[in-house]
Structure 1
Amino acid sequence: MAYLFLAVAIGAEVFATSMIKSTDGFSRLWPTVVCLTGYAVSFAALSQAVKAVPVGVAYAIWSGLGTAAIVAIGAAFLNEPITPIKIVGISLIVVGVVTLNLGGATH
């Protein structure tokens, strides 16, 4: 169940982050409300996930997969370029998350 909460946290965070641009610097009410609600859902779900998953592992998964997803969304929908250095960076994040999961899962 903890990893389901973590998946919800990641999805809500990615959604909220993808909404930031539409808030126009938090000057547009409804996009701002949607964005902040996404972050609230994300943190609430993350707080439930860390009850059973070590906080370092949960945060690494949450931030790492969220970052990778936002890079993909930026490329697919916001016309942001995917450069070789971005690919290397995302690869390092994924390797780091996998490493933490392999070494940090024991209590």
Structure 2
Amino acid sequence: MSFLYLVIAVIAEVLATSALKASNGFTELWPVILMIAGYAIALFFLGLTFKSIPMGLAYALWSGAGIILISSVGWIYFKQQLDMAAMIGLAFMILGIVIINVFSKSTHL
């Protein structure tokens, strides 16, 4: 169940960060409301993951997955460019997440 909570937290954080960009510096009401709700949901579900996944690992997975997904949203939806160095760095982050989930015993308490 913890990984489901973590997935919900990541998705909510990505939606909230996308809404932050769409708020145009807090000048658009609905994106600001979505941003506040999204971050609240993200933090709530991240907190639930701490019950069974060590804080450092849960936060690393949450932030890493969030960075990868929000970079993808920025690239696809907001037409922001990613250069080769950024793509290589994101690939290393994906590799790190895979290594943690496949080989670490710390995520299975």
Report the counterpart of residue 17 of structure 2 in structure 1.
17
The residue type equivalent to 1:105 in the other structure is T
Query: Which whole-Å CA distance do the structure 2 matches of 1:83 and 1:62 have between them?
Result: 23
What residue number does 2:66 align with? 66
Equivalence map 1:77-96=2 (5 Å): 77-96=77-96
In the other structure, the counterpart of 1:47 is: 47
Is the CA contact 1:5–1:48 (under 8 Å) kept in the aligned structure 2?
yes
Contact conserved, 1:8 with 1:45, CA < 8 A, in 2?
A: yes
Amino acid at match of 2:65: L
CA distance in 1, matches of 2:56, 2:72: 24
| Runs of 4 or more above 6 Å deviation | none
CA 49–105 in structure 1, closer or farther in 2 if over 3 Å, else same: closer
1:106 and 1:44 mapped to 2: Cα distance?
21
Amino acid at match of 1:65: A
Instruction: Give the structure 2 partner of residue 98 of structure 1.
Output: 98
Aligned-pair CA distance for 1:106: 5.7
User: What are structure 2's unaligned runs of at least 5 residues?
Assistant: none
**Which amino acid is the alignment partner of residue 73 of structure 2?**
I
Per-residue deviation, 1:61: 1.0
Which structure has greater helix proportion?
1
Equivalents in 2 of 1:5, 1:54: separation in Å? 14
RMSD over aligned CA atoms reads: 1.5
Q: Give the CA deviation at 1:105.
A: 3.0
Worse-superposed segment, 22-31 or 81-90: 22-31
